[in-house]
Amino acid sequence: MPLLPIPGSPSSSWAMYRARLKAIFDGADPRVCAAFWLFGLINNVLYVIILSSALDLVGPSIPKGIVLLADVIPSFLTKLCAPYFIHKILYPTRILIFVTLSVCGMLLVALTPEYPDASRTIGIKMAGVVLASLSSGGGELSFLGLTHYYGHFALAAWGSGTGGAGLVGAGAYVLATTVLGLSVKTSLLAFSFLPLIMFLSFFMVLPRGPLRALATHGGYERIEDYPDHQEENDGLLSTSFHSTSGRSFSPSRKGQIERAYQGFKANLHRSRGLFFPYMLPLLLVYIAEYIINQGVAPTLLFPLASTPFSHYRSFYPTYNLIYQTGVFLSRSSTPFFRIHHLYLPSFLQILNLILLTLHALFNFLPNFYVVCAVVFWEGLLGGLVYVSTFAEITDQVEEKDREFSLGATSVSDSGGICVAGFVGMAFEVWLCRWQVRHGREYCRKS
């Protein structure tokens, strides 16, 4: 007979911890978790690598917000429009499209001449960034929608993977270009083939059962009845959507057009119901953190003698790495920690923006390491709002509306990044000019 652990003893505490972990992860399919973690990692990692390399792609004299906009506007437009039609494309076909776009985009960026020739080739580089962005946006809304068919652990693994993408992407770029001393071209060329991992994960790791079921009815779009007056009277996401699995009908062309129009109206109604509880807090937190990352962070510089760096270009990717560490930890926290009031961390993120902007202007924070702590806190808040938003949708939204809602809400992060990109370009220029006028010329140095 095994001895029972004595209450309060180290063995008792360890046994309780193991029991709690077992309860948390009870029912998790390792293949599902591994596949969705890799989906989140690979879908987002090129986005992070491109942002980490922004300074090297365009040089110190061009606002890094240009890279941000090229990296996010196509993704934003994809997330804005694709939820209304992408369910017509089977998931295996989507994966092939996303992998092709990502690889081609990164090869275009990698094989274009590096800075200081960037002023003559920046348009070609940004075209490659656009292709990678289209893939990232379509991938995010697709994989978020797919979590509906694989359960809570799929969503938790996806969130952790997206956080890992930030950490791996930023860390790999710093390691390759700063520690190993590889050229920007060589580093980006090596990273160009990462999307193949997503391809292998989908076709070789992910269990096929839910995908086979999906192929029989084609997603969430089929609408049996949606009178015009329902749009005014129904509550949040209360429309009647039904799968066509097991049913057969052949409507006329006019009927098909009418059905498509009613589906579009119904999905617009769904989107309006998602805005205040889910989309707005996610939008606010992303506006604040990406103004910090792209507009303020390039000006958060100190004399090199007071830092571990020998070049001013090292500040920017280091801040990004620290930020992504916070994002990874918070996006991996869903099984252990959840927030239900999404607006509180969004407002705390706005306070971070105010604090770091004031420091960029008046230089009152004592040293580089204090700024690092604030940037880490910024990453924690941003990642927490992201995963908590989609976890709340999974818990609160009716099952028949969930796949669409997960995909449609993903537009908020890209929308916030777009706003931040436009603001950040002007913000960085203004802050740098202010610092130069007040005797701090670090932002003009490479």
Q: What is the mean pLDDT of residues 274-282?
A: 95
Cα–Cα distance for residue pair 392/424, rounded to 1 Å: 30
Q: What is the pLDDT of residue 241?
A: 38
Cα–Cα distance for residue pair 354/213, rounded to 1 Å: 49
Which of 126, 173, 439, 441 lies closest to 319 in space, CA to CA? 173
Contact call for residues 348 and 381 (beta carbons, < 8 A): yes
Q: Just give the CATH number of 28-218+252-444.
A: 1.20.1250.20
pLDDT higher than threshold 80 for residue 114: no
| Residue 345, both tokens | 């961390």
Contact call for residues 32 and 151 (beta carbons, < 8 A): yes
pLDDT band at 259 (very low <50, low <70, confident <90, very high): low
Q: What is the mean pLDDT of residues 265-284?
A: 87
SS (HEC) of 334-356 = CCCCCCCCCHHHHHHHHHHHHHH
pTM (predicted TM-score): 0.79
Q: What is the mean pLDDT of residues 314-320?
A: 85
% of the chain residues with pLDDT over 70: 79
Contact call for residues 49 and 169 (beta carbons, < 8 A): yes
- pLDDT, the chain, mean: 83
pLDDT higher than threshold 90 for residue 103: yes
pLDDT higher than threshold 90 for residue 74: yes
pLDDT higher than threshold 90 for residue 353: yes
Environment class of residue 111 by beta-carbon count within 10 Å: exposed (0-12), middle (13-18) or buried (19+)? middle
pLDDT higher than threshold 60 for residue 230: no
Structural domain boundaries of the chain?
28-218+252-444
Quick: pLDDT tens for 12-57: 566 665 665 555 555 678 999 999 999 999 999 998 888 778 777 8
**Residues with Cβ < 8 Å from 37, sequence gap 6 or more?**
157, 158, 160, 161, 164
Q: What type of residue is 102?
A: S
Contact call for residues 432 and 299 (beta carbons, < 8 A): yes
Q: What type of residue is 382?
A: G
